[in-house]
């Protein structure tokens, strides 16, 4: 944790930034790089009956770390993705609570 889901970029783009991005995010979160999972699902976007190109929408699933850390985290991701010449990057955070997150059948709040 954090689990980061990328949409609107290519596999090659994500591969090219994955190591330095995770290193920077780990520093921001003060955790190891092995805590991160990057996902790039295969999605088809449809609008008005037509397939359209996906826009860069990044979903961060994590345990809350506060507004300052969230701001720095979002800024780091945005900086890397804007380096690809993207006109806009949107990031949304989904916060998990320890009592609702289970590992091997046991919630993490205990």
Q: Is the full-model pTM beyond 0.85?
A: yes
CATH number at residue 45: 3.30.429.10
> Whole domain around residue 69: which residue ranges?
3-107
* Confidence band of 98 (pLDDT split at 50, 70, 90): confident
Asked whether the predicted pLDDT for residue 110 surpasses 80, the reply is: no
Burial class (CB in 10 A: 0-12, 13-18, 19+), 81: buried
C-alpha dist (Å) from residue 22 to 19, 34, 37, 56, 91:
5, 9, 9, 18, 16
For residue 30, what pLDDT is reported? 95
Q: Count structural domains, the chain.
A: 1
């Amino acid at each position: 944790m954090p689990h980061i889901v990328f949409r609107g970029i290519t596999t090659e783009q994500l591969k090219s930034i994955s190591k330095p991005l995770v290193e920077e995010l780990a520093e921001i979160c003060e955790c190891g790089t092995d805590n991160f999972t990057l996902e790039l699902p295969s999605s088809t976007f449809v609008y008005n009956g037509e397939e359209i190109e996906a826009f860069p929408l990044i979903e961060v699933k994590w345990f809350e770390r506060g507004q300052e850390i969230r701001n720095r985290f979002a800024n780091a991701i945005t900086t890397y993705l804007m380096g690809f010449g993207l006109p806009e990057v949107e990031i949304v955070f989904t916060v998990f609570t320890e009592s609702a997150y289970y590992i091997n059948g046991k919630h993490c709040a205990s």
